[in-house]
A and B are shown apart, each in its own frame.
Chain A
């Protein structure tokens, strides 16, 4: 049983890595498109490339293993909800953006927490406490009947050998490398071919919670 599972775990990434060899990355030249805000279309695709450019290769390949999916979802109320702040913050926690972004902007090792820091996928939003709540107590005000859907399953390629699709919405999560590469990445979803920057060359957004639309040729 162990052997079999091991195989399953490795086949996907290897094949994914093979099929993007020698891929050329082309970014639209802004010459003739002065009116288009490059940062603002295609799920802010430009951001992915920029952040990739800015990330040193050694960092991309680094591997710490101390952040896993269980912990990732423990901080959330449903897939895609803003995570709570899992560590103490000053009582004044007052939106000095450099406080949060000094660590969560670029990532890296935090001696204070003994961990690699997760990187925010949306550093342009600087009013961090607008969405991310502290945890002062775990006690509830009253019981809740809250339930939500299960988190997206991993490794669900459409074909046995095809790269897995992106199972979640890209809203506020346009920057793939912040969660999927580097030592602060979530273990289960870390990519092993981080030397390739054009993620969406192979990985197509196919939100798991949306119905699969089949192509039907429009009638004449």
Chain B
């Protein structure tokens, strides 16, 4: 609404409004008359295709954006994507999408799409034929390796890589070039979920599936604004609450969000103290004797690891955890530091609320599903908090059955499919880890490379990889499908590093971004349905999409870019496929890594037909709940559960203490800075900001403040606030009483806007086990700008 201060202005405004109203009425009336005179007359607001056949064919694909993995149907008319609808055959979303999905096809058609390759010559980017750019990349890769050794080159990919993209990247770099310098941005979003699964269960990825939502009575969202980040799943929860009488949603968070508002109860905790609260819930469950002893005695063992494990803010930081078996009594003694009353003091959560949560988890009549995503994963004790939530489900036996599910959600469409399953992380192989002789042998066999090629030592995780680029240990880096010059924490150091004289940066992307700004070579990439590929979503579902429209100009799939370079380096034998069927051939080769009932993947022909298939896919059947013999063919112990991932056939409960954040507010930097997303934009906005509806809804980033903090600072909505951390500063408009309200002493900033690089302020501290940085907690101070 227009606000005015004096009477005169007000009159002018009113007159203008009235004038606008009359014009509008005039327009409407003319159009209505025209409509009555000429049935079918149209004044559609979008540019309409000329000479269009008017026919639309619909083809299935997974959505391009988050890790939910909604099935969409893309409407294609005369070679262009023109519309989207939800795929009713896809069990993930059953025909419903969110605003990003419905408008996703518009992201293909921004006028500034990259359509030709560019090479930096004397400081400026010059367009060149793509074959010339590929020659240059191969040549640079070769000479850099010769001059500086095999570990001076690296590839940094993405959870938005298709499965074939990640597979060929790993095969080329780990198998052929012999370096473990393969990482992906999923390190920044999912690594703690992986180490959480590995330490608790010995196998990655959730045991449950989205169908849990149709069975659970209690949903607890742990630091997880699902209403905005996984809206399609959240509305399925709401639909269940409406349909069934005994469903409640509890939001457990550090900031009030749309999820808190839709929840039946919102519980706020101080940043980082989720560790203490989770332990207190376990204390209460044991203290009240709500432990499911049958389950615990048969299926659980107790362990502790190292404590005071550091934060990784220094270069070359190294840490290795050590598991030590403990007894239930020792575990129980460990929990005595975490009585609800003691934890109330640390966390700010009332003891009665902790007891309430414990009572929900502890009630044998209630099925409980816990959801989490970045709040628990982007955490300097991310692995620990994952372990601790599993502890709750394990003590109560609420796991691996419909509705009882600790569920780790993912943020990217193929964080699971490409990064976790293909293993595009420094220590991983498509099956297992580089440190394991058998796993290396398997990889060398399938890849047709000498065993000695595969280095048994992991090299750099993501943060350390960019530190190595800054230091000069890495001279060549190829970045695909991601925008690290917006997303790296402590951004300034890594951007300056990438810009240093003798570093060679190759970027494959679809639009210009701050990352292409620092590139020496830009390759135009095919986007999403402009190529064939597969994604893997949060619930172990592999989703195939065919090439539906042509990529623009010389744009090429990331997979094919890597194949072209591999062949130029002399690896024709390892990359023999033809353009016609390379995706099928790559899939069938990759599938061999996962043979067996624990991870069998569906054959290509099945993936083509269906709107996603869940693995393990054994004898034509998908596995909805793992570790439960009623559903999981890999169970073999004859009991009602089989946690076959660990050598002792048990799931592990871990004694993990509360330890403070790497940087907490103090007298000088007296606010927490929390960062994240909004529903309209996805990650760095390079796609969603080019979708008019989404950009028009949230055109710029802002800083959310608590109203009282804003009043103390003397700012009102829209006024500029300078946010300063030890690493950088940014000035941006304030938002007060918006869709999210931080607690006092905290500010929240969405990170999608390249005009306000909030990651210049964030800290590159990470979980020592998962090496995933914490984007949710660092200390800042505020000034009115």
Question: A residues near B, CB below 8 A?
Answer: 2, 5-6, 8-9, 12, 65-66, 68-71, 73-82, 84, 88, 91-96, 124-127, 129-151, 153-156, 169, 171-172, 187-188, 208-211
Contact = CB atoms under 8 A, between A and B. Distances in A.
B264 to A, nearest CB: 13
B75 interface: yes
Interface of B: 1, 27-28, 31-32, 35-40, 42-49, 52, 54-56, 75, 77, 80, 82-86, 88, 95-99, 102-103, 106, 109-112, 227, 231-232, 234-235, 238-239, 242, 257-258, 261-262, 679-680, 689-690, 692-699, 717, 735, 737-739
Nearest to B98: A130
A5 B38 CA distance: 6
A148 B235 contact: no
B56 A209 contact: yes
B232 A149 contact: no
6 contacts: A95-B261, A127-B262, A137-B699, A139-B696, A141-B689, A148-B82
A130 B40 contact: no
A68 B32 contact: yes
A149 B35 contact: no
A209 B75 contact: yes
A174 to B, nearest CB: 11
B464 to A, nearest CB: 34
Indicate the member of B45, B46, B717 with the most A CB atoms within 10 Å: B46
A8 B102 contact: no
A169 B697 CA distance: 27
Contacts of B32: 65, 68, 187-188
Contacts of B258: 94-95, 129
Contacts of B695: 137, 140-141
Given A77-B692, A153-B42, A132 B99 contact: yes
B56 A149 contact: yes
Nearest to A65: B32
Contact of A154 (B39, B77, B694): B39
B31 A144 contact: no
B110 A144 contact: yes
Contact of A150 (B48, B75, B257): B48
Contacts of B99: 82, 129-133
B698 A136 contact: yes
B77 A135 contact: no
Nearest to A133: B697
Nearest to A66: B28
Given A73-B45, A137-B696, 9 more contacts: A76-B45, A81-B102, A91-B739, A93-B739, A130-B234, A137-B699, A140-B696, A141-B689, A151-B42
A121 to B, nearest CB: 13
A78 B112 CA distance: 21
Contacts of A140: 692, 695-696
Contacts of A81: 83-84, 102-103
B559 to A, nearest CB: 25
Contacts of B232: 130
Contacts of B77: 148-149, 209
Contact of A9 (B39, B75, B111, B693): B39
A91 B679 CA distance: 14
B36 A188 contact: yes
A147 B111 contact: no
Contact of B235 (A126, A147, A149, A150): A126
8 tightest Cβ-Cβ pairs between the two chains A and B: A155-B39, A153-B40, A209-B56, A188-B35, A70-B43, A133-B697, A143-B111, A127-B235
B19 to A, nearest CB: 15
A131 B98 contact: yes
A131 B82 contact: no
B258 to A, nearest CB: 5
Given A144-B111, A171-B95, A188-B35, A125 B235 contact: yes
B237 to A, nearest CB: 9
A147 B82 contact: yes
Nearest to A137: B699
Indicate the member of B1, B98, B235, B679 with the most A CB atoms within 10 Å: B235
Nearest to B699: A137
